[in-house]
Structure 1
Amino acid sequence: MIFICDKTKLQDAIAIAQKAITGKSTMPILEGLYIEANKNTLTLIGSDKDVSIETKLEADVLKEGKIVVDAKIFGEIIRKLPNSEVKIETLENNSIQISCEKSVFNLVHMNSEEFPGLPQINENIIFGIPQNLLRNMIKGTSFAVAQDETRPILQGILFEVENSKLNLVALDGYRLALKSELIDTNNTINAVIPGKTLNEVAKILEDNECVVSITFTTNHILFNLGNTKVISRLLEGEFIKYNALLPQDYKLLVTVDKQAIQNGIERASLMAKDGNSNLIKFDINDDAIVITSNSQLGKVREEVSANMQGEGMQIAFNSKYLLDVLKNMEDGEVEMELTSSISPCIIKNKNAENSKYLVLPVRLVK
């Protein structure tokens, strides 16, 4: 195998494929990056069995072939080379030579035959969605994915398509995040994708309206971004019936400036770092939210103007959960729907219907 290509383009392709290499696999071959040179195209694949990323770039292929190289060291070598053309060729003793200007590296490679093949997916495109839209939906839900491994299904994000609408849903037992967008499809889909996969997909997606094509099989999802494909296994099991968790009624509706309440909570949370509860208290009355926090560090009082419809209320929250929600909301004003000090709080954008968040309060010991 012999090929010549631009260093920067090769570095970018390595960075994309490497996102699938976790270093946690028991198979040494999966520490490697699969490289195939064929018809003036380089194909790079990284995989950890659960997620595989394939990306292609142009190259001047003088002799076709395929190898697997240690992803970490190969990536470091290419990154530190001068910004020039790189020539890579295989030598007889299971090694490759990497040349760029006056730099020459020899690196041992592995047998490409041992690298597991990608799952075969028939790409009869199920639907497409603009990259920036999907990226925002992932960003707006992935923070609520469960981190503990006791309920594996909650380590994923529900991908639900019905009535030409895509819903992404994540929940971890303390909060729930739901993002919805209308899409052009008549299909009905219900699948759970590992949260870590979608986070890597979000890093590859660009902030433009180019369409990413999405194909589902029984066990896998494929994201096709043109030169790059991401294939992930789906999580097994039933996702929680999230609609049943969302209260339909409320007794108090509070409309508040998003940035004002976010700033108030951030300042109040400085005193709430005692223990892990990050406890802050809301006293909602007289068209204002008084935010307080007491701990061994001291105490704080913040007041934020708000519009109230309903009876006043006292309620406490983990400040981290509220801030995670507010940081992902796009509207200038947000609405909080409250029922009691022990009932879930629903937070929505005032002027946009595409997001809904649920945060459980912290019960106060009286």
Structure 2
Amino acid sequence: MIFICEKQKLQEGILIAQKAITGKSTMPILEGIYINASKDGLTLIGSDMDVSIETKVSADVIEEGTMVIDSKIFGEIIRKLPNSDVRIEIIKNDTVQISCQKSVFNVVYMNYEEFPSLPNIDEEKQIQVPQNILKNMIKSTSFAIAQDETRPILQGILFELKNRKLNLVALDGYRLAIKTEYLDSDFDIEVVIPGKTLNEVSKILEDIDSIVNITFTNNHILFNLEQTKIISRLLDGKYVNYNSLLPQEHKLLVEVNKQELQNGIERASLMAKEGNSNLIKLDVQEDNLVITSNSQLGKVREEVGINLQGEGVQIAFNSRYLLDVLKNMEEDDVVLEMTSSVTPCVIKAKETDSYKYLVLPVRLIR
């Protein structure tokens, strides 16, 4: 194998493939990047068995060949080389020579035949989603994935397509996040994708409207971007019936400027660092929302103007849960729907139905 490639292009390809390499596998071969050089250029693959990422890199291939090379050392070498063409050539004794200007590295490589093959996925049945929309949907929900390993299904995001609507849903027992987009597709799909996978997909997606082709099997999902494919296993089991968690009615509705509310909560939470509760209290009044926090550090009082429908209420929350929601909403005005100090608060955008969030309050000992 002999090829010449621009350092920057090769480095970008390595960084993409490395997103699938966790370094936690008991198989040493999975700490490497699989590299195939053919007349079409380079194919780089990283995998941890659960997630595999394949990406294409253009190169001048002089002699075709395949190898697996340690991801960490290879990535570091390429990153530190001068910004010039890199020549890579397999020489004797299982060694690959990497040269660029006056730098020459000889590195041991691994047997590519030990590298696991990628799952075979039929790409005939697929849905198409613009990159920027999918990236935004993941960002709008992934913060609510459960970190607790006792319920593995909640460490994933529900990917649900029905009635021409794509819903991404995440919940962790304290909050629920739903993001909805219209999708021109007749498919009905309900699968649970590991949150870790979608976070890596989000890093690769760009803020552009070019299409991602998404294909499903019973066990895997494939995201196909033009030069990159991401294949992930799906989580086993049935997801929670999230619709049953959403209150069917409310007794009060608060309209408020999102940024003013976010700023007020951020300032109030500076005094809410005691323990892990990040406790703030909201006193919903006729024209104002009063945000307070008391701790050994001191106390704070913030006031935000609101429009209230219904009677006021006093309710407490973990400030981090509210901030996670507000930071991921792009609208200027938001709506909070509540019934009492012990029932969930539903947060929506005022002008669109594409966001829906539910946050449980903290019960106060009176």
- TM-score of the two chains, using structure 1 as the length reference: 0.99
Equivalent position of 2:44 in the other structure: 44
Residue in 1 that maps onto 2:207: 207
**Residue type of the partner of 2:215?**
T
Name the structure 2 match of 1:345: 345
Matched with 1:245 is: 245
The 2-side partners of 1:40 and 1:265 are apart by 54
| Residues 98-140 of structure 1 deviation map (CA, whole Å, 9 limit, x = unaligned) | 0111110111100000000000001114210100000000000
Would you say how many aligned residue pairs link Structure 1 and Structure 2? 366
Q: How does 1:237-316 map to 2 (within 5 A)?
A: 237-316=237-316
Matching residue's letter, 2:74:
F
What is the correspondence of 1:28-67 to structure 2 with a 5 Å cutoff?
A: 28-67=28-67
**Residue matched to 2:183:** 183
Q: How big is each residue's C-alpha offset from its partner over 1:258-300, in whole Å with a ceiling of 9 and x where there is no partner?
A: 0001000000000000000000000001211000000011100
How does the TM-score come out when normalised to structure 2?
0.99
Counterpart in the other structure of 1:156 = 156
Q: What code does the residue aligned with 2:166 have?
A: L
Amino acid at match of 1:352: T
Q: What letter corresponds to residue 171 of structure 1 in structure 2? A: L
> Could you tell me whether the CA contact under 8 Å between 1:125 and 1:213 is conserved in 2?
no
Residue 108 of structure 2 is matched in structure 1 by: 108
- Contact kept? 1:145, 1:154, Cα under 8 Å: yes
Q: 1:116 and 1:155 mapped to 2: Cα distance? A: 25
* Deviation digits for residues 32-74 of structure 1 (CA, Å, limit 9, x no counterpart): 0000001141000000000000000111111111000000110
d(CA) in 1 for partners of 2:24, 2:341:
43
Residue 90 of structure 1 deviates from its aligned partner by 0.5
1:5-24 matched pairs, under 5 angstroms: 5-24=5-24
C-alpha distance in 1, partners of 2:214/2:117? 20
Residues 1:4 and 2:4 aligned together: yes
Letter in 2 for 1:18: Q
**Structure 1 contact 126–185 (Cα < 8 Å) conserved:** no
1:219-252 C-alpha deviation (Å, 9 max, x unpaired): 0000000110000000000100000001110000
User: Cα RMSD between the aligned structures?
Assistant: 0.6
**Aligned positions of 1:306-345 closer than 5 A:** 306-345=306-345
Distance 1:5 1:125 in 2: 35
C-alpha separation in 1, matches of 2:261 and 2:224 = 40
CA distance in 2, matches of 1:339, 1:171: 21
Secondary structure of 1:110's match?
coil
Contact 1:159 1:166 in 2 (8 A): yes
Q: Conserved in 2, the CA contact under 8 Å of 1:6 and 1:86?
A: yes
Q: Percent identity?
A: 70
- How far apart are the structure 2 equivalents of 1:224 and 1:75? 24
Q: Distance in 2 between matches of 1:301 and 1:222?
A: 49
Q: Deviations over 1:289-337 (max 9, x none)?
A: 0000000111000000000000110000000000000000011000000
Q: Secondary structure at the match of 1:79?
A: helix
Q: 1: CA distance between counterparts of 2:125 and 2:228?
A: 15
In 2, distance between residues paired with 1:291 and 1:193?
37
Report the AA paired with residue 241 of structure 1: N
